Chain A
Amino acid sequence: MSELYDCRIAFAQALLELVASDPRVVVVTNDSVGSSNIAHIRERFPERVINLGIAEQNMIGVGAGLANGGKIPFLCGASCFLTGRALEQIKVDLAYSRSNVKLCGMSAGLAYGPLGATHHSIEDLAWTRVLPELVVSVPADPAETAQAVRTAAALEGPVFLRLSRMPVPAVHPPDYRFRVGRAVRLREGDDVTLIACGTMVSRALDAAALLQAEGVSARVLNMATVQPLDREAIEQAAAETGAIVTVEEHSVRGGLGGAVAEVVVATRPVPMRLLGVPGTFAPTGSPEFLFQHFGLTPRGIAQTALDLLNRKVTHVGPLRTRY
């Protein structure tokens, strides 16, 4: 079994390096010092870490103001509170204003499983990706996380980094370069495409291996940027594999699956399945329990793909043009 990593470590290291190298970078938090793993930055650069207390609406506005004053603020907080609690500030102060602010949504998805639906962040992709101008990135492993942090700093404009605390293996080759708006094809395949982001990418890869044993060739795309979306890669996947399963640690409503479906329906309509939390609040339980519960496992993903392939349209005869 491959080694597992907590991406928060790569996040915090990359952020520390940015703070050390660029005087414009400041770290702002809603008291989420421990869970954002930024205590060591505060120790070395106390004046560059601003703890605004438990007040997310103010924090977003302060971020916009810091950016107005020439800073590059990284706002760190649990994704469930950072996004939902201050969504209108994110819309107006960051997206509409095109403020150079980086939102770092920690412990997104089901990471806080036992704490209940208040702490599950399975709506944040839907909430953020609908906002114009806001880049939404969901890194899948430590290397991609570090690069996404550096890319966010270099990019002029608002960015939402959706980060996890769930242990994940490295899924990218050593020479991998993260590029905003580009999907990464991690496995070739012709029968079906598995499109995943974040913690679900390694599981999609494992599912593809299971499918291979069943004689099914599954392509795997890491959709590391949910906005802007790599429409080309999606259209190509639809055209070349004819079936798509999306996998996300998020509600199936409005997240990655919804984003992919919007492209598929308008370009190359093919059968799809959206795997995630099926439009309900999640029950309590450890993240791993909840992943099992919702079929967000290699076996669950593979089974969903097999079910879908039974429905796959293999041949469509020529359609008569009536109008």
Chain B
Amino acid sequence: MQNPLTRPITAAPTEALRRQACWIRRRSLQMIHRAGFGHPGGDLSCADILAVLYFAILRIDPSRPHDPERDRFIMSKGHSSASFYATLAAAGFFAEEELDSYLQPLSRLNGHPDRNKVPGVEANTGTLGHGLPIAVGAALAAKLDHARWRVFVLTGDGELQEGSNWEAAMAAAHHGLDNLVLIVDRNGLQQGDATERTVRLEPLADKFRAFGWAVAETDGHDHAALSALLGGVPFEAGKPNCVVAHTTKGKGVSFMEARAAWHHGHLSDEQLAQALRELEEACGV
């Protein structure tokens, strides 16, 4: 078997990615239903991004989660832990059955990820605006060592209201961290309302460009487009990379899509059944 750390970056067939993303969505909703709580809206909006990262982009070996040469993925939007854990299990970091312990007493699958408990988790997140500064530090470490590993970080969009992100954005550009890739899950909604009705982020891509980043925008549910973009970093030598991934919160479930109310909450038995039916039909499984 080829070493995943040296494997050439080639996009997996998008059909396989589509199935992985569908599985992550279904499993996340089952976990949330079982736990009686979760953040389904964001789990569903970033499922395609996670699938592309873990099954087409990241040079990681789940059997060696602390390999110094691994790519780092930092899940800054730690509340999307259901889809993150489902992805880690699918990638082989731990057994899938453990997902049933999500949010249960003493489970290591806490509501927000803990790197000291869960293999594959690089950073403890949950409070927002932490992932990007940590990613900047990791990218600096790689640069100091002239290492080949890269750092990917996924933030929410509402999260970008935290000022620490912009401190980090300045530092990343100043240090020319082209080994750093920020993906923004731009679903347009935060807990209380649309981002643009709360404290507006637009023009978001231009903000990052003004901060000295190389920026691309894409449909965050298009596996081929995401794979092509993320497989093509750095976009510009000497500049950190930003992908604004336009997504739909609650993607794939009709009664959740684009509704801020599904930021967090629980699903009834009927809601779960309907959601799984819709996802299965859409995925053709």
Contacts and interface: CB of A to CB of B under 8 A. Distances in A.
Interface string A55-67: 1011111111111
A129 to B, nearest CB: 20
B122 A68 contact: yes
B167 A68 contact: no
A63 B135 CA distance: 10
Nearest to A55: B167
A71 B127 contact: no
B137 A55 contact: no
Contacts of B145: 69-70
B16 interface: no
A115 interface: no
A61 B126 contact: no
Interface string B82-108: 000000000000000000000000000
A69 B116 contact: no
Given A55-B171, A89-B130, A93-B130, A65 B124 contact: no
B152 to A, nearest CB: 13
Interface string B106-147: 000000001110000011111101101111111111101101
Residue from B130, B139, B145 having most chain A Cβ neighbours under 10 A: B130
Interface in A41-55: 47-48, 50, 52-53, 55
Interface in A22-42: 26
A61 B136 contact: yes
A92 B127 contact: yes
A84 to B, nearest CB: 15
Nearest to B149: A69
A62 B136 CA distance: 6
Contacts of B135: 65
A212 interface: no
A89 B163 CA distance: 13
B108 to A, nearest CB: 14
A98 B147 CA distance: 24
B174 to A, nearest CB: 8
Contacts of A55: 167, 170-171
A236 interface: no
B18 interface: no
Nearest to A68: B138
Residue from B116, B142, B144 having most chain A Cβ neighbours under 10 A: B144
A52 to B, nearest CB: 5
A96 interface: yes
B168 interface: yes
A58 B167 contact: yes
A157 to B, nearest CB: 11
Contacts of B138: 65-66, 68-69
Contact of A60 (B72, B115, B133): B133
A96 B123 contact: no
A60 B132 CA distance: 11
A97 interface: yes
B133 A58 contact: yes
A68 B134 contact: yes
Interface string A152-166: 000000000000000
A92 to B, nearest CB: 6
Interface string B52-81: 000000000000000010001000000000
A68 B123 contact: yes
A88 interface: yes
A97 B116 contact: yes
Contacts of A93: 123-124, 130, 133-134
B191 interface: no
B144 A26 contact: yes
Nearest to B131: A61
B164 interface: yes
A63 B137 CA distance: 6
A156 to B, nearest CB: 12
Interface string A75-92: 000000000000011001
A47 B167 contact: no
B141 A61 contact: no
Interface in B235-279: none
B115 A52 contact: no
A65 B136 contact: yes
B67 to A, nearest CB: 11
Interface of A: 26, 47-48, 50, 52-53, 55, 57-71, 73, 88-89, 92-93, 96-98
11 contacts: A50-B175, A53-B167, A58-B133, A61-B130, A61-B134, A62-B137, A65-B133, A65-B134, A69-B72, A93-B123, A93-B133
Task: State the 9 A-B residue pairs at the shortest beta-carbon distance, nearest first.
Answer: A65-B137, A69-B141, A61-B133, A58-B167, A62-B137, A55-B167, A65-B138, A57-B164, A65-B134
Given A50-B175, A97-B124, 11 more contacts: A52-B171, A53-B167, A64-B133, A65-B137, A68-B141, A69-B141, A70-B68, A70-B141, A88-B127, A92-B126, A93-B124
